[in-house]
């Protein structure tokens, strides 16, 4: 129920002898996530790990509030995200510059987390949850430099985070997630290929839900990113404004639905951010080549 809507962002509970929660939504989602965890039969004392895939507000915003309730849980995050959970001020201010005050009120302000509870987790680290479940961290930058995915080694299930794009149940067309400020096309493509090399059986995605045809979906994401970059680069060469690019990309995505419907506001915002991030990446790449 992020932003009062179902199927905007997913949180995943993994139950072994120890329990872990991967991603947890906005700060405003905290009560909803807490209720669902309790309904699943996991008490506040039984949560062992909180694992945000990265520190963007729709994935880690509720982490501080949930850490207060799950006060025995260890909070693990990529080393580059560690300080932002301890003090989320910089993440909050950066997001406010993109979204504006009205939307930020809907997202809710993340709570800081007591420093000793936050621990860095790097690439290829394992969490043995018991009952035959081992989570392994996979560094998957591109969407963000501090982005992690997780694989359940025994089942071939991968929790992708935003390494893959958005495919909403209400709008079943792939939308790349290429936000500012640290999106990098090359590393995003490398991350998708790395996940594919794991031969995953299924993907558990945040936006939104379970994907059974894992390899096909990863291939589709690779192709979509390449096409997205080419289209935006072409529009930049034509000298189009950012607003024009956002409008044209939204129209193109909407036109790929079998029966074109209006884009929900949160998907329009996702398209806006993805255009801004790709433009920034392309312009930075061009400046680097010119040096």
* C-alpha–C-alpha distance, residues 58 and 55, integer Å: 8
Instruction: Assess if residue 112 is contained within a domain.
Output: yes
Q: Which residue has the tokens 């018991």?
A: 130
Residue 116 lies in a domain: yes
Domain final residue, candidates 113, 139, 165: 139
- Do 117 and 227 have their domain in common? no
* Domain tally, the chain: 2
The answer to pTM > 0.85 is yes
Two tokens, residue 243: 């607003």
Is residue 182, in this structure, part of any structural domain at all?
no
- Expressed as residue numbers, the domain containing 245 is 214-290
Evaluate whether residue 179 is within a structural domain. no
- Domain final residue pick, 139, 169, 196: 139
Domain contains 14:
yes
Contacts of 240 (CB under 8 A, 6+ apart): 248
Handedness of CA 27, 31, 33, 38 (dihedral sign): positive
277 and 183 Cβ atoms separated by less than 8 Å: yes
Considering just the CA atoms, what is the radius of gyration of the chain in Å? 18
Domain of 118, CATH number, reads 3.60.15.10
Within a domain: residue 185? Answer: no
Going 149 to 68 to 9 to 144, the CA torsion angle's sign is negative
228 and 126 belong to one structural domain: no
Residue 200 domain-assigned (yes or no): no
pLDDT in tens, the chain (291 residues): 888 888 999 999 999 999 999 999 999 999 999 999 999 999 999 999 999 999 999 999 999 999 999 999 999 999 999 999 999 999 999 999 999 999 999 999 999 998 899 999 999 999 999 999 999 999 999 999 999 999 999 999 999 999 999 998 888 899 999 999 999 999 999 999 999 999 999 999 999 999 999 999 999 999 999 999 999 999 999 999 999 999 999 999 988 887 778 888 999 999 999 999 999 999 999 887 776
CA dist 108 and 64 (Å) reads 11
Q: Are residue 8 and residue 134 in the same domain, yes or no?
A: yes
* Domain end among 107, 139, 171: 139
């Amino acid at each position: 129920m992020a932003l009062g809507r179902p199927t905007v962002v997913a949180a995943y509970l993994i139950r072994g002898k120890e329990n872990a929660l991967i991603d947890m939504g906005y700060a405003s989602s905290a009560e909803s996530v807490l209720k669902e965890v309790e309904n699943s039969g996991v008490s506040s004392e039984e949560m062992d790990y909180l694992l945000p895939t990265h520190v963007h507000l729709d994935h880690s915003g509720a982490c501080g509030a949930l850490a207060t309730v799950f006060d025995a849980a260890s909070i693990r995050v990529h080393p580059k995200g560690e300080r932002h959970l301890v003090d989320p001020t910089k993440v909050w201010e950066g997001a406010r510059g993109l979204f504006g005050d009205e939307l930020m009120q809907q997202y809710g302000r993340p709570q800081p987390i007591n420093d000793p509870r936050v621990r860095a987790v790097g690439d290829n680290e394992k969490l043995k949850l018991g009952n035959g479940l081992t989570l392994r961290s996979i560094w998957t930058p591109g969407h963000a430099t501090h982005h992690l995915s997780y694989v359940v080694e025994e089942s071939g299930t991968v929790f992708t985070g935003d390494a893959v794009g958005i495919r909403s149940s209400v709008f079943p067309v792939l939308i790349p997630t290429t936000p500012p400020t640290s999106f990098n096309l090359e590393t995003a493509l490398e991350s998708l290929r790395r996940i594919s090399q794991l031969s995953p059986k299924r993907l558990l995605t945040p936006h939104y839900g379970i994907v059974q045809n894992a390899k096909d979906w990863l291939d589709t994401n690779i192709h979509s990113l390449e096409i997205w970059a080419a289209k935006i680069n072409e529009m930049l060469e034509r000298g189009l404004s950012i607003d024009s690019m956002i409008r044209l990309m939204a129209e193109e995505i909407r036109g790929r639905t079998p029966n074109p419907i209006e884009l929900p506001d949160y998907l329009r915002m996702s398209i806006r951010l993805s255009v801004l991030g790709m433009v920034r990446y392309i312009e930075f790449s061009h400046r680097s080549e010119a040096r």
